[in-house]
Amino acid sequence: MSKRDYTLKQMIEMKACTQCRLCAEVCPAVSASGEGMLSALSRMKGLRQYLKRRPALLRRLFGEAGLSEEAQKKFGDDVFRCTLCGNCQEVCPVGIGLKDLWLSLRTDMVRSGAGPAKIKTIRDNLSESRNVFAEDNAERADWVDGMRDAPEDRYLRDKAEVVYFTGCVSAYYPVAQRIPMDLVRIFDAGAIDFTLMGEDEWCCGFPLLGAGLGEMLGSFVEHNIDAVLRKGAKKIVFACPSCYRMWREYYPRRFEIFHASEFLLQLVRENRLPLKPLQLTVTYHDPCDLGRGAGFFDQPREVIRAIPGVKLVELGHSREKCRCCGGGGNLEMFDPALSSAITAQKMEEVMATGAQAVVSACQQCVRTMTTYAKRKGVPIEVMDLVQLVHKSIVGQTS
């Protein structure tokens, strides 16, 4: 174990768990799989046992029997069967910083050779293609070609006040590409001076952290900062909460950064968007990184309520208690069946509201829920907040 893997605070927190089991009660992976070993409580115990195999100082600190080689491999796999939703941290009565601890643990697993084999794929994809999907990064802005009303410059301008950082999911997944298409149309409607980065945009780096590959992050940060500086931009807008949080927490503060929900709210408050009535009942799903992670609960709801005719009904679990969609933490790459099972539980809760549509403010949440709804024939529309606002601007009724 490298000293870089865990902070002193985290070492102390490992002994602070009271075994209250509240984390197990709110864990989406435990609920969907029925496997208690996926809970934070069990993972904390496994971590202490794992560290028992380490240097003398750690063996003295954690006086428990160490894991066998077989148990260590199983533990390494289970560490990545987690969406990193942060619900365990939200309910922890001791205030343990569990989400950061899980990221440190993933780093430790990878450095120790105990992580899943899929880690190599993630490393190779990001090293070679600069995105987690191994797509051609030169095609990052090709979604613009699907727009009949795209300008001649395809939104790739030499200079602009605002950079729209698209994110990997919206750039490459057709089911999510309506989000950037509608957001640039909203920018046009609001007379925003903006540009895309195209192939100069690299992954924000979140998949690297989720895969325990944080040591690779520096080159991605440096490249993206330089690319925005070359545009002369002062502001960056993100529709992806994970991209937004990465720039807020891991990038130097060189620019004003906005999640799309707060940028849209600003435009609404300034009366810069011609919102038309929509007769629609919606429920809102709080993305984990935007809600619990960044504290954005009111901004998306205020935007929704600003649209005439739209009725908002809340989920049974909302705001800080909102349940994960199943798409976080790279889980789909490590255990797609578990990811789908978590999504199924989420969609059951959505359907129970009686809403006509579920709105989120995250391209990954939209992609995950849309894919599940289409596969299972779930009769509800899934859309991003950006798409809802665009529907209102154009007066779209369906």
Total-model pTM = 0.91
Q: Are residues 171 and 301 in the same domain?
A: no
The answer to whether residue 63 scores a pLDDT higher than 80 is: no
CATH number, domain of 59, equals 1.10.1060.10
In 3D space, the residue among 336, 255, 317, 328 whose CA is nearest the CA of residue 290 turns out to be 328
Q: Are residues 95 and 153 in the same domain?
A: no
Whether residue 350 is contained in a domain is answered as yes
Q: Are residues 184 and 61 in the same domain?
A: no
Whether residue 2 is contained in a domain is answered as no
161 band by pLDDT with thresholds 50, 70 and 90: very high
CATH number, domain of 349, equals 3.40.50.11810
Looking from the CA of 226 toward its CB, the CA atoms found within 13 Å total 8
The answer to whether residue 53 scores a pLDDT higher than 90 is: no
pLDDT above 70 coverage of the chain, percent: 93
71 band by pLDDT with thresholds 50, 70 and 90: low
How far CA 70 is from CA of 33, 52, 75, 372, in Å, comes to: 21, 15, 9, 34
**Stretch 130-153: mean pLDDT, rounded?**
94
What confidence score (pLDDT) does residue 55 get?
54
Task: Output the DSSP codes for 160-181.
Answer: -SEEEE--HHHHH-GGGTHHHH
Cα separation, 250 vs 204, in Å, equals 10
Residue 194 CB: number of other CB atoms within 10 A? 21
Residue type, 385: L
The answer to whether residue 57 scores a pLDDT higher than 60 is: no
Residue 278 structure tokens: 């929509």
Q: Are residues 110 and 129 in the same domain?
A: no
Residue for token digits 């790279």? 330
pLDDT tens-digit readout, 164-186: 999 999 999 999 999 999 999 99
Q: What is the domain count for the chain?
A: 3
Report the mean per-residue pLDDT for the chain: 92
Q: Is 310 helix (H, G, I), strand (E, B) or coil?
A: strand
Q: Are residues 105 and 20 in the same domain?
A: yes
Cα separation, 261 vs 256, in Å, equals 15
Range of the domain at 86: 8-114
**Stretch 281-297: mean pLDDT, rounded?**
97
What confidence score (pLDDT) does residue 87 get?
95
What confidence score (pLDDT) does residue 50 get?
79
Residue type, 1: M
Cα separation, 19 vs 294, in Å, equals 27
Q: Are residues 185 and 317 in the same domain?
A: no
Q: Are residues 241 and 353 in the same domain?
A: no
Residue for token digits 């993305």? 287
Q: Are 242 and 330 in contact (CB under 8 A)?
A: no
Cα separation, 5 vs 388, in Å, equals 42
Residue 123 CB: number of other CB atoms within 10 A? 17
